[in-house]
Structure formats: C-alpha cells, structure tokens
Amino acid sequence: MNDKPKETVRANVLGVGISAINLDLAVAAVAEALERRAKSYICVTGVHGVSEAQLDPDFRAILNRSFLTTPDGMPMVWMGRWQGFRAMARVYGPDLMLRICEYSQSRGLTHFLYGGAPGVAEELKRRLEQRFPGLKIVGTYTPPFRPLTAEEEQNLTRLVGTLKPDFFWVGLSTPKQERFMAHYCQKLDATIFFGVGAAFDFHAGRMRQAPRWMQRSGLEWLFRLACDPGRLWKRYLKNNPLFLFRAFCQVTGIRKYRIE
C-alpha cells in the first residue's frame, strides 16, 4: 500500500512552501504516513535551501513536492508566523531525528543510514543504538562524493530491498540530499526518507551544535561559521543578506512569490 501522504498547510517563504508545523506535529504526520505506508520524502530546510531554490526551479520543485519541508531555521518560523501560522516552530533536523528514533524505539520500526564521510554512519549507528536501547538500525551506506554508478545503484537497491527499512536517513549536503531523495524515493524499498544533513555529524560526535539560545535566536549560522569559516563563509555572507533583502521585498509586497 503506497497511498499519497496527506497534504499539510504551508507558509510561503520566497516561493518555497515551508510546512507550517512544529516538532510534535511533524512526528504525528510521520506516524500517520507510516501507518498508511505512504512512500514520501521530508526536506529539512532553512535559509540555505530557500536561497538555493531562488536560482534553481528544479530544486524549488523538489522542496515543494515533498511530504514535509520543515522550518529548519528560525527565519522560516518568523516568516510563517508573519503569515498567521502561530503554532509554527522550528523543526530542526537533529531534533527530528532523535524524536523519530524515540518514537520508533518500542515499535519495532527500522532505520537505514545513508551518507556522511567514511565511518560516520557506523559511528552514528552505534551512538543512536546506545542512546535508544532496542532501536533497530538495520543498515548503513557511505556513498562516494559523486553520483552512484549503475553498479553501485544496483547494489544499493538490492541491499535496501532486502532490509526494507521504514525510515531512510540521508546525511548529505543541500541540495544534494534533496535531489537524491526525489530521485530514489520510488526506486528504493523504504517508506519515508529524511534529508537531515549535518545531523549525521552532530550525533556522531564529529561536529559541535550551537547552544540552544543561539538556535532559538536565529544565530546558529554564526556559531557554525566560527567553527568552519573556510567552508561556510561564502554561503553565509552571500545567502544571508540576500535572503533578508528578498524577505523584505516579500513582506512589503514589492515582489510577489508564488509556490509553484
């Protein structure tokens, strides 16, 4: 049974439909979709993803066709609340991963971890199983930093077809992980796909998370920039001012953005 998951209401953030949800509602939506075995993918999106979508209509369509595109950053939440979605709150990828693991812990649901640098998925598996006794992580796969070859795709398809996980976690960068999910969601024998990016490195102990007060105040980007300036300075110093300008144009009505 592969019913289409029920649509959720979305806030319009620069033409990207961000699900007007909070963490509790996200877990409930996942549980409902899983009960009906509705194959689907979930994007976890903040300023970076929305900014990428401004220049790439195909990527924007991937975000808008998802089962959920969660408000991963506080600017998504602020834009949603401005549009009247008062219950909207941040659904942060690492937090969502932990809540779904907690939800599945006593239900016999299974997980598959795809992504990360060599050794990350295996370390993540060990730590999650230690944190949630009884959690069933049935497989891991560390992909190369390039598209899969035909043989690698066949091997992955065969492996996942044998394991049939309920949850398939993708730990790649944006927009790579979203493209992967959109392409493979119907090809791989798993039910719900999550693109959670840096959650793999956070929960595997490879990267530090920002303090909660910085996360709640929309300053996580500053913490991550300080931790990894060589990789992230171009992203944040370009995307953040552009996002603010575009958001101003949307809020004031200078420019109209449509969810297509």
- What are the tens digits of pLDDT across the range 62-119? 999 999 999 999 999 999 999 999 999 999 999 999 999 999 998 999 999 999 889 9
Average model confidence (pLDDT) across the chain: 92
Residue-level pLDDT at 222? 72
Distance CA 89, CA 226 (A): 25
Distance CA 32, CA 242 (A): 37
**Residue 255: DSSP 8-state:** S
Average pLDDT over residues 177-201: 95
Give strand pairing partners of 68.
42
Q: How much of the chain exceeds pLDDT 90, in percent?
A: 78
Q: Is 137 in contact with 109 (CB distance < 8 Å)?
A: no
- Give yes or no for a contact between 49 and 19, defined as CB atoms under 8 angstroms apart: no
CA dihedral 209, 210, 211, 217 (to 10 degrees): -140
Mean pLDDT computed over 163-187: 96
Fold of 10-203: Rossmann fold (3.40.50)
Entry field: residues in the chain: 260
Task: Give the pLDDT of residue 5.
Answer: 59
Return the pLDDT at 65.
Answer: 96
Q: Is 188 in a helix, a strand, or coil?
A: coil
Cα 31 from Cα 19, distance rounded (Å): 16
pLDDT: which is higher, 99 or 217: 99
Longest alpha-carbon distance in the chain: 53
Q: Which amino acid is at 115?
A: G
Among the residue ranges 38-42, 58-62, 218-222, the one predicted with the least confidence is 218-222
Between 232 and 47, residue with greater pLDDT: 47
Query: In this predicted model, which residue has the larger pLDDT, 167 or 216?
Result: 167
Tokens of 163: 């394991």
Global pTM value: 0.91
Taking 50 as the threshold, does the pLDDT of residue 1 lie above it? Answer: no
pLDDT of residue 91: 97
**Cα–Cα distance for residue pair 82/229, rounded to 1 Å:** 32
Predicted local confidence at residue 4, as pLDDT: 56
Least confident of 165-169, 206-210, 246-250: 206-210
pLDDT at position 61 over 90:
yes
